[in-house]
A and B are shown apart, each in its own frame.
Chain A
Amino acid sequence: MNNLVPDTIRQEPSPPSGPEITHEDIDRAHDRQRVLRARAGRGLFSKSRLLWLLIGPGILVMLGENDGPSMVSYAATGARFGVGFFAPFFVLTFVMAIVVQEMTVRLGAATHRGHAELIFARFGPFWGWFSMLDLLLGNFLTLIAEFIAVRAGLGFFGVPPWLAVLIAMLVLVLALITHRYWTWERITLAAALLNLVFIPVAFLAHPDWHAFGRALGTWHPLPKGGLTNETVIVILSDIGATVTPWMLFFQQSATVDKGLTRRDIGYGRLDTVLGAALATVAALATMLCTTPLFSHQMSAENFQGAEFAQALQPIIGRLGAALFALGMVEAGIVASITISISSAYAFGEVAKRPHSLNLPISQGKSFYTVLLLCAAAAGGLVLIPGLPLVPVILIVNVIAVLAMPPALVFLYMLVNDREIMGDLVSPWWANLLAALVVILLVAAGVLFGVSVLAPNALAHLGGG
């Protein structure tokens, strides 16, 4: 980031004792020292160790996006459409996610600044505050949906709602308690890998593997009835949900907090691709889990996570249903951790308060307060009896639509900003690809927003 700081600031002499070192710096330096040692080594072991040390933000963001509502959406797609068009379509959506999230890795490694901070600094306070407040609101509403998933998933095991929320909060606190980015990342990664629990459940569902392989290669069969209004809305919803605002803010801030540098970008990309691959497998497995409902012509229109588990129990057995419900719990808990943290990062970056998972509680009071307050308030709201949660879910979609175009446009402008990126600006072909994906995501998001607000507005698209 040689050109980021103006000459007038850069040329200020350092104090005789050198820069002030904080606890956050010391923790990050220890993590970086292990990276430097691994990089200095030769052979497969050193390379593998380097990969182990540098993975994290990409896997977490991709598996975090496989959250409660997403898993319900994949399950509903399997139950409604069976195996066919949507199998390769899911793969395509994660490829688009890789294109977008890769930009955040480069931005974070090149500038060592978070996404909200760069928007604030480069485009002014209006856009800085807007991005942060919109993110906070959208994240808070999404958190409610995550706690609903946790409550529903644990409800399958007879856990009362208050205990379900308490368990989710305890996992969140447990991951934070060491106030070390590295420890937090490893605990959350371990929890996120439980997302793969849908794979054994898919095997228990005995899907038609031949049809699945054929669908991946041919995109057939197309959804029954052709391009109906319902199909258009499902497609738009899936494209629009491919990349959500918190993912951009989270991965860039986590890249900075982890301490990735320009030399680590290759591994950052690998981390993102690995995360997308794992998330794609989990998404496809979830879809396959519920295809027996499609074969048996069972309506799953209004199912939530636990209801899918109950409906599948006669087919996949008690163990399969329990694993399915456990997967829903994991999806909600991991997303609630990553989403709360993206809110806390953005708040700290814009309000210019310390923001790092390496901060001791005493030095990061505002960071941890925002983080825990968001999660606790969302968890608490879910426990209020009779609270109308359906409108909340509806508004989440609209808020996400509101936030996405600015977030994606700013991401595109920042990653092409030579003053801060130097030689890491995108080449023309990568820009073309990214522009196509950004335009498609923005258009799909806005159209989905329109479909939510005016359900019949898109009817003419498919003649339905």
Chain B
Amino acid sequence: MTLKDDATDPAITQKDFVTHVLEQDQLSQAKKRPVPRKQLRGIEILVLWSLRIYLLFMIAVVVYQVVLSMR
């Protein structure tokens, strides 16, 4: 297939052109397919729980800071 920008029949040729040039996963339609959830291992679960605890602490700090700055 020749890659032509100025297709005489845009409805057909543009589709051929696009599917030829782009990788399948680059098509916007392909991006609608869900990416599977990661199966977490022990260490990863530990890291995510540490992040949750960190967040709770930091959110409290941010709220405190906002209240303090508004006084």
Contact = CB atoms under 8 A, between A and B. Distances in A.
Interface of A: 1, 4-6, 9, 18-22, 24-26, 28-30, 32-33, 36, 111-113, 117-118, 121-124, 127, 130, 259, 261, 352, 354, 356, 388, 391, 394-395, 398-399, 401-402, 405-406, 409, 413, 417, 419-420, 449, 453
- Could you tell me the dominant secondary structure of chain B's interface residues? helix
B25 A112 contact: yes
A391 to B, nearest CB: 3
A19 B15 CA distance: 9
Contacts of A130: 55
Contacts of B55: 130, 402, 406
Nearest to A31: B21
Contacts of B32: 352
A417 B29 contact: no
B62 A399 contact: yes
Interface of B: 3, 5, 14-15, 17-19, 21-38, 44, 47-48, 51, 54-55, 58-59, 61-62, 64-66, 69-70
Tell me whether chain A's interface is mostly helix, strand or loop, or mixed.
helix
A179 B61 CA distance: 41
Given A121-B34, A419-B38, A420-B35, A395 B65 contact: yes
A264 B3 CA distance: 20
A123 B38 contact: yes
Nearest to A2: B25
Contacts of B47: 409, 413
A21 B14 contact: yes
B32 to A, nearest CB: 8
9 contacts: A22-B29, A25-B22, A122-B37, A123-B38, A123-B48, A261-B26, A398-B58, A406-B55, A417-B38
Contact of B26 (A112, A122, A127, A352): A112
Contacts of A28: 22, 26
B69 A394 contact: yes
A4 B22 contact: no
B44 A413 contact: yes
